[in-house]
Structure formats: structure tokens, C-alpha cells
Amino acid sequence: MIVCPVHLPTMYLKAIEKMVEKGYYPCRSEVIRVAIRDMLKRDLQICEKLKE
């Protein structure tokens, strides 16, 4: 994997930390990876539908 530093609003980071503290995810990086994966999957599906 490639390291990609990002700037996040404090509110986002606090929400991510809560997800990790509650045990939903093992670390902050995993929360961000899952969020990006799901967003890309959703948006790519929307783009494909618009092409039809």
C-alpha cells in the first residue's frame, strides 16, 4: 500500500476515533479505506447507470 497523508476536519477524526474505540474497526486507516472503497463502488455504479 501507498501512504497518502490527508487533512481531515476535527469532527471527522473524532467520529473515526469513536468507531475504532467501539471496536467496529481495528484502526483509523481501515475506517478510511472502507469509506473510500464504498464511495468509489457507489459512484462508479452511478456513472455506469448514467452511461446507459
DSSP per-residue letters across 2-29: --------HHHHHHHHHHHHTTSSSSHH
Quick check: 6 and 16 in contact, CB under 8 A? no
Q: Is 4 a member of any domain?
A: no
Q: Is 24 a member of any domain?
A: yes
- What distance, in Å, lies between the first and last C-alpha atoms of the chain? 34
Q: Which domain holds residue 42?
A: 10-51
Residue 29 confidence (pLDDT): 96
Q: Is 2 a member of any domain?
A: no
Residue 38: all three cell numbers together = 464504498
Residue 51 confidence (pLDDT): 78
Residue 47 confidence (pLDDT): 79
Q: Is 46 a member of any domain?
A: yes
Residue 6 confidence (pLDDT): 94
| Mean pLDDT in consecutive groups of 10 residues from the start of the chain, 52 residues | 94 98 97 96 84 76
The number of folded domains in the chain is 1
Q: Is 3 a member of any domain?
A: no
Q: Is 32 a member of any domain?
A: yes
Residue 2 confidence (pLDDT): 92
Residue 42: all three cell numbers together = 457507489
